């Protein structure tokens, strides 16, 4: 006699492609409601990341006097990839706000200029020279110009960047954003000397700084994302806001719902399908997530990942064409900051690869079980003070006797 098949009471072995019609734990509900697919391998906005050191950029034996960081998004012009970045070439590594001078930098991005490099393959780069020099005092950015990003609009090129009027670290990392214009990615660049994205009004979350300007063209307008850290340190948050303009020189109108991302430092944004995706790397409850917004404003977590690129500047083929059926990103440049030895502190630019492609049939770079070498963990060692404090606490803590 054959046993009649009973309806299964357990969650099935064969992963249902859509939400099954049965009671679900919150976790399993999220799996079906919050993500594009239950398996990350099938989620176009999930990726693991791989890194490659690049050829062609010299760091003076890593002595800390040369630093390159915060690469822009990458664009391709006449078969050549272009990136712009902060370059510091100073007589010493950063010495902190107390010890800085006209020639000694306070931070890694103090006394910096904006340089650019080109590449045929994204692995070997050729530095082409300075794009934006520090202007004469008291013009905007006389102390330092840093953290650039690029916009192409109606045949012209616009570089947005942080313009410091004092050494960063003196009061905070205070600066507005300005813009320079050129007819060619090779320059020359004409500075506007204007605060293109000004700081917020007194008391606002972005009152002191507009960091990491990141322009895209979306819905026929310039959507410029930016970061600000707010709250008195050490109790602060890092948020990302949006400022929208009809012309690259502004006026930029800040979105009333700012901040639009509650986490993410040096956040990279890219058009994806008909919306905007973001790499929320570092800082905040939602660090290490990739997020998506159907309208460029309302972001939700699309995936949780690890080892995300710091200060990512992806190659975005269609950054400026209104995010229509956008494919996504596969690689870009990022930076690593070598802070282990304060006497040689600097950053260097490297390449990352990922798979954040829509309709990607290829399943490479979708690894959720990324294993680090023990060194990575032990590099996060307790400081001597933290260890002493824990030893003391443990010796008096009788709760576990
Ligand atoms: C980076 C960026 C901005 C900050 C500083 C240089 O991480 O967020 O550019 O001002 O650090």
Domains, the chain, ordered by start: 48-378 (2.115.10.20)
State the pairing for strand pair 300-304/313-314. unpaired
- Rounded distance between C-alpha atoms, residue 75 and residue 182, angstroms: 15
pTM, full prediction: 0.95
Q: Which atom of ligand 1 is nearest to the CA of 147?
A: 9
The mean pLDDT value for 359-382 works out to 89
Beta strands in 261-312 (DSSP E): 268-272, 275-280, 289-293, 300-304
* Tokens coding 187: 């320059």
Which amino acid residue places its CA nearest to atom 5 of ligand 1? Answer: 109
295: exposed, middle or buried (C-beta count within 10 Å: 0-12, 13-18, 19+)?
A: exposed
What does the DSSP assignment read for 112-179?
-EEEEEEESSSSBEEEEEEEEPPPSTTSTTSSEEEEEEEEEETTEEEEEEEEESS-TTSSSS-B-EEE
Confidence at 154, pLDDT banded by 50, 70, 90? very high
Centre of ligand 1 to C-alpha 107, Å, is 10
Is the model's pLDDT at 398 over the cut of 80?
Answer: no
Tokens (6 digits) for 80: 């050549």
Contact 335 CB / ligand 1 (< 6 Å): no
Mutation probe of ligand 1 site: the residue of 67, 105, 147 with most atoms within 8 A of C-beta: 147
Ligand 1 centroid–CA 4 distance in Å is 66
pLDDT at 342: 85
Q: Please tell me the distance from the alpha carbon of residue 306 to that of residue 227, in angstroms, as a whole number.
A: 21
The tens digit of pLDDT for each residue in 264-316 reads 999 999 999 999 999 999 999 999 999 999 999 999 999 999 999 999 999 99
Q: Is any atom of ligand 1 closer than 6 Å to the C-beta of 212? A: yes
In terms of DSSP bridges, do strands 211-218 and 190-191 run parallel, antiparallel, or are they unpaired?
unpaired
Residues present in the chain in total: 401
When computed from its CA atoms, the radius of gyration of the chain, rounded to whole angstroms, is: 23
pLDDT value at 7 more than 90: no
Q: How far is the CA of 210 from the centre of ligand 1 (A)?
A: 10
C-beta 110 within 6 A of ligand 1: no
pLDDT digits (tens, 9 = 90+) for 104-118: 999 999 999 999 999
Give the mutation target among 169, 173, 309 for probing the ligand 1 site: most ligand atoms within 8 A of CB: 173
Identify the pLDDT of residue 399: 59
**Dist. CA 82 → ligand 1 center (Å):** 21
User: If we measure between CA atoms, which residue out of 309, 318, 247, 373 comes closest to residue 71?
Assistant: 309
- How far separated are the first and last CA of the chain, in Å rounded? 61
Q: Which of 58-62, 153-157, 178-182, 389-393 has the lowest mean pLDDT?
A: 389-393
Interval between CA 21 and ligand 1 midpoint (Å): 48
Q: How far apart are CA 62 and CA 77, in angstroms?
A: 31
Q: Quick one: pLDDT at residue 222? A: 98
Q: What is the mean pLDDT of residues 128-153?
A: 98
Q: What is the pLDDT of residue 234?
A: 82
pLDDT at 158 over 70: yes
Q: How many CA atoms lie within 13 A of 368 on its CB side?
A: 11
Nearest of 83, 93, 94 to residue 57 by alpha carbon: 83
CB of 173 shorter than 6 A to ligand 1: yes
pLDDT of residue 9: 86
Burial (CB < 10 A; 0-12, 13-18, 19+), residue 317, is: middle
- What is the chain's mean pLDDT, rounded? 94
Structure token digits, residue 398: 């009788």
Kind plus residue range of the DSSP H or E element containing 398: none
Cis before 220? omega within 30: no
Angle CA 115–89–79, to nearest 5: 25
337: three-class secondary structure by DSSP: strand
CA atoms within 13 A on the CB side of 265: 15
> What would the mean pLDDT of 41-61 be, rounded to a whole number?
96
For the chain, give percent helix, strand, coil, nearest 5: 10, 35, 55
Residue 319 DSSP label: T
Question: Of the residues 266, 284, 311, 313, which should be mutated to test ligand 1's pocket, given the most ligand atoms within 8 Å of the CB?
Answer: 266
Q: Work out the burial of residue 267: count CB atoms within 10 Å of its CB; fewer than 13 is exposed, 13-18 middle, 19 or more buried.
A: buried
In tens, the pLDDT along 327-351 reads 999 999 999 998 778 899 999 999 9
pLDDT classification of 233: cutoffs 50, 70, 90: confident
**Ligand 1 in contact with 109 (CB < 6 A)?**
yes
């Amino acid at each position: 006699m054959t046993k009649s098949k009973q309806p299964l009471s357990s969650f099935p072995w064969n992963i249902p492609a859509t939400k099954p019609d049965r009671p679900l734990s919150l976790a399993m509900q999220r799996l079906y409601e919050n993500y594009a697919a239950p398996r990350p391998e099938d989620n176009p906005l999930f990726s693991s990341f791989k890194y490659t050191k690049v050829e062609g950029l010299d760091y003076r034996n890593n002595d800390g006097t040369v630093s390159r960081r915060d690469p822009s998004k990458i664009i391709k012009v006449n078969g050549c990839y272009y990136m712009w970045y902060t370059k510091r070439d100073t007589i010493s590594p950063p010495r902190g706000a107390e010890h800085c001078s006209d020639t000694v930098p306070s931070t890694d991005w103090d006394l910096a200029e904006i340089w650019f490099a080109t590449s045929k393959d994204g692995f070997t780069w050729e530095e082409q020279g300075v794009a934006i020099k520090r202007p004469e005092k008291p013009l905007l950015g006389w102390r330092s110009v840093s953290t650039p990003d690029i916009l192409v609009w109606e045949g012209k090129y616009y570089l947005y960047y942080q313009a410091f009027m004092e050494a960063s670290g003196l009061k905070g990392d205070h600066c507005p954003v300005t813009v320079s214009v050129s007819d060619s990615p090779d320059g020359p660049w004409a500075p506007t000397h204007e605060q293109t994205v000004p700081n917020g009004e007194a008391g606002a979350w972005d009152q002191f700084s507009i960091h990491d300007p990141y322009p895209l063209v979306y819905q026929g307008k310039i959507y410029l994302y930016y970061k600000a850290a707010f709250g008195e340190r050490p109790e602060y948050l890092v948020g990302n806001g949006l400022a929208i303009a009809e012309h690259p020189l502004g006026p930029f109108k800040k979105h009333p719902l700012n901040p639009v991302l509650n986490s993410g430092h040096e956040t990279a944004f890219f058009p994806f399908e008909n919306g905007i995706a973001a790499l929320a790397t570092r800082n905040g409850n939602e660090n290490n997530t990739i997020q998506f917004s159907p309208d460029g404003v309302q972001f939700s977590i699309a995936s949780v990942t690890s080892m995300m690129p710091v200060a990512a500047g992806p190659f975005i083929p269609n950054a400026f064409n209104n995010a229509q059926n956008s494919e996504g990103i596969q690689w870009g440049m990022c930076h690593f900051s070598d802070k282990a030895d304060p006497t040689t502190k600097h950053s260097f630019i490297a390449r990352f690869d990922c798979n954040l492609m829509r309709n990607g049939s290829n399943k490479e770079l979708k690894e959720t079980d990324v294993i680090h070498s023990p060194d990575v963990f032990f590099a996060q060692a307790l400081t001597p003070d933290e260890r002493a404090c824990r030893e003391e606490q443990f010796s008096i803590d009788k709760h576990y006797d």
